[in-house]
Amino acid sequence: MPQQEIKNFSITELENFLKEKNIASFRAKQIFKWVYLKQTDSFEDMTDLSKDFRKEAQTLFVNKRLEIKKISHSQKDGSKKFLFCLEDNNHIESVLIPEKDHFTLCISTQAGCRQNCKFCMTAKGGLKRNLSTSEIVSQIRDIQKYILDQNEDESKRLSNIVFMGMGEPLDNYDNVLRAIKIITDQDFGLKISRRRVTVSTSGLIPQIERLGKDAAIALAVSLNAVSDELRSELMPVNKRYPLKELLLALKNYPLPKREKITFEYILIKNINDSLEDAKKLALLLKGVKAKINLIPFNPHPGSDFKRPEKNTIEKFGKFLLDRGYTVIVRWSKGDDIGAACGQLSAEENSGEK
């Protein structure tokens, strides 16, 4: 039997796997602690496991790190974009964003994506494949280690995770759910608070409903348009899951206490940035516990869309603020290092640098 990547197991799955091999199931918790809490790579170094079991574990499992192909540093805002090369030569990206007192990490869940949103660089190459659970949690584990090794601002912890990188997280549901459990496990996993993990979706209604039952984690929805006509044009997923049904599913989503759903709205010049759009957006979100992230479009190669003028963005935001919404304008991080998600990997795959 080929060795299995240890980080593809949830703790319960590992316990069951060990039981089947007549190995005491408490070993699963010991291994998890070494892998996630102590950042240990070699089973040989897991010193509270018996010598025999350490040997056996090496025949059953591997515990690999991702290959970091490149780290780009933004001079403008201090963010770092990690380009990882996977074992099958696909590339994915994670972005580490320094905040006032912590780091936020934006992670990928698929190599490519099949949702085909018209403003998105990742969409251009289609879906290559889903990431494994190990590839998802490794982005966090490996970058935690990078922060430790770099001795970067020791007072800051990597405490916030957003599933907002390459791919539609809910299109890789099982691996994402397993990863969320490992990430938020306070005893044996990566110990990130559940309240600080956000899954961003283009709006896959059945999976939103499932997630509400399975994890009830904070949710962000990429909205970007206030009519079905425009949204279907920008985001083909809207043809399957139109706005009215999407908003109903979001109203019913069991949010953690005092939380709101984040609506991401990429502002694109002359497409969805008029005051009329802002008015319709205010009406559309009435009755939903909503906060709105306005994201000025980040121009990238191969896209005709443009970023609106600054005063258009400000007027749009002010209109919503005046109607009582929480509004944040989020400028893309690292626009000097190819901030458009998927830009670095697209360049890597096409040989551009």
Is-catalytic flag, 341? yes
Nearer to ligand SF4, 28 or 339 (CB): 339
Nearer to ligand SF4, 18 or 136 (CB): 136
Contact between 205 and ligand SF4 per CB under 6 A: no
Q: What CA–CA distance (Å, rounded) separates 224 from 117?
A: 10
The contact pattern for ligand SF4, residues 168-187, with x = CB under 6 A and - = no contact, is: x-------------------
Q: Which is the catalytic residue, given 106, 113, 117, 341?
A: 341
Nearer to ligand SF4, 49 or 295 (CB): 295
Nearer to ligand SF4, 127 or 143 (CB): 127
Nearer to ligand SF4, 222 or 332 (CB): 222
Q: Which is the catalytic residue, given 93, 135, 168, 264?
A: 93
Contact between 198 and ligand SF4 per CB under 6 A: no
Nearer to ligand SF4, 117 or 250 (CB): 117
SS (H, E, C) the chain: CCCEEHHHCCHHHHHHHHHHCCCCCHHHHHHHHHHHHCCCCCHHHCCCCCHHHHHHHHHHEECCCCEEEEEEECCCCCCEEEEEECCCCCEEEEEEEECCCEEEEECCCEEECCCCCCCCCHHHHCEEEECCHHHHHHHHHHHHHHHHHHCCCCCCEEEEEEECCCCCHHHHHHHHHHHHHHHHCCCCCCCCCHHHEEEEECCCHHHHHHHHHHCCCEEEEECCCCCHHHHHHHCCHHHHCCHHHHHHHHHCCCCCCCCCEEEEEEECCCCCCCHHHHHHHHHHCCCCCEEEEEEECCCCCCCCCCCCCHHHHHHHHHHHHHCCCEEEECCCCCCCCCCCCCHHHHHHHHCCC
Contact between 166 and ligand SF4 per CB under 6 A: yes
Shortest Å, Cβ 170 to ligand SF4:
9
- Dihedral sign from CA coordinates of 111, 114, 118, 119: negative
Shortest Å, Cβ 212 to ligand SF4:
19
- Piece in contact with ligand SF4 (CB under 6 A), picked from 166-174, 179-187, 284-292, 305-313: 166-174
Report 214-253 residues binding ligand SF4 (CB under 6 A).
222
Q: What CA–CA distance (Å, rounded) separates 92 from 352?
A: 16
Interface with ligand SF4: number of residues (CB under 6 A): 12
Shortest Å, Cβ 151 to ligand SF4:
33
Nearer to ligand SF4, 95 or 123 (CB): 123
Contact between 273 and ligand SF4 per CB under 6 A: no
Contact between 202 and ligand SF4 per CB under 6 A: yes
What phi and psi, each to the nearest 5 degrees, are found at residue 33? Answer: -60, -45
Is-catalytic flag, 259? no
Could you tell me the CA-to-CA distances from 284 to 221, 239, 336 in Å, in that order? 14, 18, 34
Shortest Å, Cβ 117 to ligand SF4:
3
Shortest Å, Cβ 291 to ligand SF4:
19
Report 103-122 residues binding ligand SF4 (CB under 6 A).
113, 115-117, 120, 122
Contact between 123 and ligand SF4 per CB under 6 A: yes
Shortest Å, Cβ 237 to ligand SF4:
7
Q: What CA–CA distance (Å, rounded) separates 214 from 32?
A: 22
Q: What CA–CA distance (Å, rounded) separates 267 from 296?
A: 5
Report 145-164 residues binding ligand SF4 (CB under 6 A).
none
Shortest Å, Cβ 72 to ligand SF4:
19
Interface positions with ligand SF4 (CB under 6 A): 113, 115-117, 120, 122-123, 166-168, 202, 222
Hey, which residues are catalytic here? 93, 341
